[in-house]
Structure 1
Amino acid sequence: MADTMQFDLVAPERNLLSVPVREVRLPGEDGDLTAMPGHAPAIVNLRPGLVTVIDDKGTESEFAISGGFAEINGESVSLLAEIGRKREDMDQDAFDEMMRAALRKKKAAEQREEQQGAAAGVVAAAAKLLADMEALGAHIGLDPNSANFPD
């Protein structure tokens, strides 16, 4: 078994990282997980949180994501993030952008429920997304209540 695997982190605005890695820690929707070379194939839905990458030299780096999914195949991990930023680039403005996106999803789910009688699980999932986003901000020292987000 190889000591490393390829890791690619892509967000809509740009390719954030493409390197050989020893491990990747992911904020899975059903719980956190670590992917290492030889990991069983999986597709994982991601919640807002920090992705931690340990490269082939042992250097650790972190990325804040607002959600997305990762494809793991044992030889590589490909992560497509809805919104992604290097941890050191996360400031209050970037976090506010991520919070606004989470709020829009929650409002859209509530409107669908109101207009079409969508399942309550959709609204609950959107509310959880918003709570996970708030937890991410608190974890990295940003204030989820700093901006006046629309109701």
Structure 2
Amino acid sequence: MATFSFELVSPERVLFSGDVTSVVVPAAEGDMTVLAHHAPFMSALRSGVVTVNGAKRLFVRGGFVDVGAGGLTLLAEQAVAVEEIDAGRVTADLKDVEEDLRDAKSDEARARLAEKAEGLKAMLAALRH
């Protein structure tokens, strides 16, 4: 099977860089599978799991997808290997965010907190699959 270059970058580090045969990406329009010679494409990322070669699973939240002649690049606001997610910490963070959401005084604060809560829920869902 043909390979292509894939790189997943977060503000903290490069989580993955190498040649792959397939990557499933949680694009804003829905999950998409990228294979070698994929048509050029750009999209926003939604919170979810990136699956590399059908095995390696990486959780991403926010950012952009770019498929071009050079391969696939994901620029994620947050990215972590699924096996590194601490369910207890995420659950506690979600509880705190939901409390803050109930107490939020402005629409802007509610929107920001609701987005953060959705990202944390997606992270917990990644652990169950």
Cα distance in 2, alignment partners of residues 40 and 99 from structure 1: 38
Structure 1 residues 67 and 128, CA gap change in structure 2 (3 angstroms) = same
* Residues 59 and 126, structure 2, Cα contact 8 Å, conserved in 1: no
Question: What is the CA deviation profile of residues 93-140 of structure 1, one whole-angstrom value per residue up to 9, with x for unaligned ones?
Answer: 66469859x88xx87x82379xxxxxxxxx4x9746643541331341
Structure 2 letter corresponding to 1:23: S
Identity %: 30
What's the TM-score once normalised by structure 1's chain length?
A: 0.65
Cα distance in 2, alignment partners of residues 62 and 43 from structure 1: 21
2:113 corresponds to 1:136: no
List alignment gaps of at least 5 residues for structure 2: none
Counting matched residue pairs gives 122
Structure 2 partner of 1:46:
45
What's the TM-score once normalised by structure 2's chain length?
A: 0.75
Structure 2 letter corresponding to 1:134: K
* Residues 66 and 133, structure 1, Cα contact 8 Å, conserved in 2: no
| SS of alignment partner, residue 137 of structure 1 | helix
Cα distance in 2, alignment partners of residues 97 and 7 from structure 1: 33
Structure 1 partner of 2:107:
110
Q: CA deviation at 1:44?
A: 1.4
Structure 1 residues 15 and 80, CA gap change in structure 2 (3 angstroms) = same
Structure 1 residues 28 and 98, CA gap change in structure 2 (3 angstroms) = farther
* Residues 29 and 45, structure 1, Cα contact 8 Å, conserved in 2: yes
Question: What is the CA deviation profile of residues 7-35 of structure 1, one whole-angstrom value per residue up to 9, with x for unaligned ones?
Answer: 00111111111010111101111211111
2:82 corresponds to 1:87: yes
**Which of the numbers 52, 57, 65 marks the counterpart of 2:60?**
65
* Residues 43 and 71, structure 1, Cα contact 8 Å, conserved in 2: yes
RMSD: 3.2
Cα distance in 2, alignment partners of residues 64 and 129 from structure 1: 14
* Residues 82 and 126, structure 2, Cα contact 8 Å, conserved in 1: no
